[in-house]
Amino acid sequence: MAERDPDTGLLRGSDGRDRCWWHGGLEDYQLYHDTEWGWPVDEDRRLFEKICLEGFQSGLSWLTILRKREAFRAAFANFEFETVAGFTEADVLRCLDDSGIVRHRRKIESTINNARRALELREEFGSLAAYFWSHEPAAENRPKKLDFATARTLGKTAESTALSKDLKKRGWSFVGPTTVYAFMQSMGMVNDHLEGCCCREKVEKARADFRRPV
């Protein structure tokens, strides 16, 4: 596996471009880094999938979840939360018997619970996207320069803590501040590609052009 630069946190790929270190040069992980992580998302189904998978990731590596993602989609009706909200104990047992996913009863039950809570959020705010994007950190509260040292301090933030607290108040589960911050990174609410990463400026432009849902 390729090694990161200890000072910058960047890893040079076989294409000669520098990227954030964490994909480790693995083909599927690098593709995720380049094409998904940090790019702004406003589709409710994708947002629901992302926050549920971040919950499943708790205590595991994201690579484990990424490589099981298609199995998760098959198990959870492609994360169509209207459908998942109607899952029963029989579906829980089916998922517990599915070796393709993480067979953790509380996390499976949490996904069903959160689908029901997602329906309530959509009813109140019009869309999950409108709700989540209303918690985007103000520009002045973000690091002025996202170097490697700064990135390592961002396991959770005031904004992810506030969003976590609000979700829990609304009955969501497996949405602690660290999980929520990983979700915010994944869905593009923040751009945590490092300075010098070949994706940082492209993602920043996408965020600048992105129309926030209301």
Examine the residue annotation and report whether 62 is marked as an active-site residue of this protein.
yes
Q: Are 130 and 213 in contact (CB under 8 A)?
A: yes
From the candidates 21, 29, 62, 172, give the one annotated as an active-site residue: 62
From the candidates 32, 80, 82, 195, give the one annotated as an active-site residue: 32
CB proximity list for 200: less than 8 A, separation 6 or greater: 146, 191, 193, 194
From the candidates 54, 133, 136, 159, give the one annotated as an active-site residue: 54
Examine the residue annotation and report whether 29 is marked as an active-site residue of this protein.
no
Q: Are 67 and 101 in contact (CB under 8 A)?
A: no
Ranges of beta strands (E only) in the chain are: 10-12, 18-20
Tokens representing 46 are: 């994708």
Q: Is the dihedral of CA 17, 9, 23, 186 positive or negative?
A: negative
Residue by residue, DSSP assigns 85-130 as: TT--HHHHHHHHT-TTS---HHHHHHHHHHHHHHHHHHHHHSSHHH
Examine the residue annotation and report whether 70 is marked as an active-site residue of this protein.
no
Query: What positions carry a catalytic annotation?
Result: 32, 54, 62
